[in-house]
Amino acid sequence: MPGRCERNPAGPLRWLALSSLAFAYACSNSSQPDLFLSRDDLLDPGACQGCHQDHYDDWAGSMHAYASEDPVFLAMNQRAQRETNGALGTFCVKCHAPMAVREGATKDGLNLASLPKKLRGVTCYFCHSVDQVTDSHDNPLHLASDGVMRAAISDPFSGGRFHKAAYSPLLDRDRADSATTCGACHDIVSPHGAAVERTFNEWRSSIFSGGTGTTCGQCHMPQSTTPKAVAQVPGAPLRQPHGHTFAAVDVAVQPFPDKERQHLLVQSFLDTTLQTALCVEPEGGASRIHVTLDNVAAGHSFPSGASQDRRSWVEVVAYSGSDVIYSSGTVPDGTSPTTLADPDLWLMRDCIFGESGAQVSMFWQAASSEGNSLPALLTFDSSDPRFYQTHRVKAYPSSNLLSAVPDRVTLRVQLQPIGLDVLDDLIASGDLDPQVRAATTTFTVGSMVEWTQASATHVYVDRLTGNRVYCATSTNLNVLADKFPATMHARCAP
């Protein structure tokens, strides 16, 4: 009958049996009766699609939807289960497919491919059912079982027909409480006690967690400036919806919805994360190059997340005419920076160590970690000395002078979300398809900076050497400010 959703004579009412088109029709038809979806129906993001198409489209191409499809995650989990004789249990999958764990559908994540899609990934139901955060790491989220979908809307539309709705500060990107919801899975402590992911703690110790700061959602769930209905149901009021793409650093390494947009969103983040300066200090006929990096916009350290698996490094190339007279961090395509015999390499990553103190390569082996990520901003007040503690500087060459003054120098910061050496390790153990390696991305963080003495944007006299220093920067970085030496690993093997 037009305007009504009928019961399936072969079984109970199942909204998910409707096609997307039919579901959209049901949502928009004013004569539709108020029939709430069952909890089982609400588990499926497809049930949300008909009334929340834009949110669904964002989510479907996001890393939340990809979380248990990612072949690198699957390979790590498979290897970890084998090497721990299954003792790892749900450690990985409770964040990568939390509803599969909570529904008792998996104990180790090894059977994810055989599970219904609604139990894979980080789903709408999982986030929007959170009613309590009981700890700070390893997914301590408590979910309500009342069928209420919680969100940031303080005055939920009472005409909704398919689920109950309520406001929750835990889902409100404008409330600091919401960061604890994100942090529940974005702070991870390994089975041996190493803080292998610290994004939430990094944010919490930064200025961004203060009253004038920025929450996780305010960066990773940008809000539209154009009011629109967030639910396609009759009478739904206009809101200012926020996105559900959750772009950050990781991207899909296989065909996946919205892959190109995700790449563009990640690049947009990286283009504004750092401020950089490239300076040359002539000394007689010799010179020294100085590179300054400042993490001004990440809201947490850079790189962050699974930093033991990420590889970010600085590339510096100096020229005399067309000849290269010095280079550091020049990594050929398809090569890991960890393979370079480069004493000046500025490589940003975590190193992890087992219970014996020896360096290890995989997170489940880690009992401690040591990192040299760029720290998050501590204050917005440039008159506060802490403002400049995030200015990290490194000299090239590190142990002597360059034997000439270059005509031109270029600077790039590169980032591999997952290091090629990590992928090689998983390929060698037989857990990862070698084709994944060729599908990975190396991003350039921000724009390349090019220096010539004539085009230097800042010139100053060094307080210690008395030499004039010529600097190029395309950002607001204060090249005259106090700077702190870049942290290099004391115990980290290449």
- Tell me the per-residue pLDDT of 420-445, one tens digit each, with 9 for 90 and over: 999 999 999 999 999 999 999 999 99
Q: What is the pLDDT of residue 491?
A: 67
- 248 part of a folded domain: no
Placement of tokens 């979300």 in the chain:
417
CA contacts within 13 A on the Cβ side of 119: 18
- 299 part of a folded domain: yes
The band of 478, judged by pLDDT with boundaries at 50, 70 and 90, is: confident
- 109 part of a folded domain: no
Residues 6 or more apart whose Cβ sits within 8 Å of residue 140: 133, 134, 184
What's phi and psi for 353, nearest 5 deg? -135, 140
324 and 226 in a common domain: no
C-beta separation of 174 from 211 below 8 A = no
Residues 6 or more apart whose Cβ sits within 8 Å of residue 69: 120, 121, 254, 256
Query: Among 189, 209, 239, which residue terminates a domain?
Result: 239
Indicate the number of domains in the chain: 2
Q: What's the CA gap between 471 and 449, in Å, rounded?
A: 10
374 and 420 in a common domain: yes
pLDDT in tens, 327-371: 999 999 999 999 999 999 999 999 999 999 999 999 999 999 999
Confidence (pTM):
0.91
221 and 290 in a common domain: no
456 and 382 in a common domain: yes
C-beta separation of 41 from 14 below 8 A = yes
- 110 part of a folded domain: no
Share of the chain above pLDDT 70, in %: 91
Q: Name the H helices within 291-417.
A: none
Q: What is the pLDDT of residue 211?
A: 61
432 and 352 in a common domain: yes
343 and 468 in a common domain: yes
On the question of pLDDT at 12 being above 60, the answer is no
145 and 31 in a common domain: yes
Instruction: Domain of residue 394: give its range.
Output: 259-485
The band of 490, judged by pLDDT with boundaries at 50, 70 and 90, is: low
Q: What is the pLDDT of residue 382?
A: 87
- Report, as an integer, the average pLDDT of 65-79: 98
- 272 part of a folded domain: yes
191 and 334 in a common domain: no
Q: How far is CA 204 from CA 179, 299, 373, 378, in A?
A: 9, 9, 16, 10
Query: Among 195, 211, 239, which residue terminates a domain?
Result: 239
pLDDT in tens, 209-266: 986 679 999 999 999 999 999 888 888 899 999 999 999 999 999 999 999 999 999 9
The band of 2, judged by pLDDT with boundaries at 50, 70 and 90, is: very low
Who wins on pLDDT, 472 or 487?
Answer: 472
Q: How far is CA 424 from CA 259, 260, 347, 412, 435, in A?
A: 23, 25, 18, 25, 11
263 and 235 in a common domain: no
431 and 288 in a common domain: yes
353 and 316 in a common domain: yes
- 52 part of a folded domain: yes
On the question of pLDDT at 313 being above 70, the answer is yes
C-beta separation of 395 from 465 below 8 A = no
288 and 235 in a common domain: no
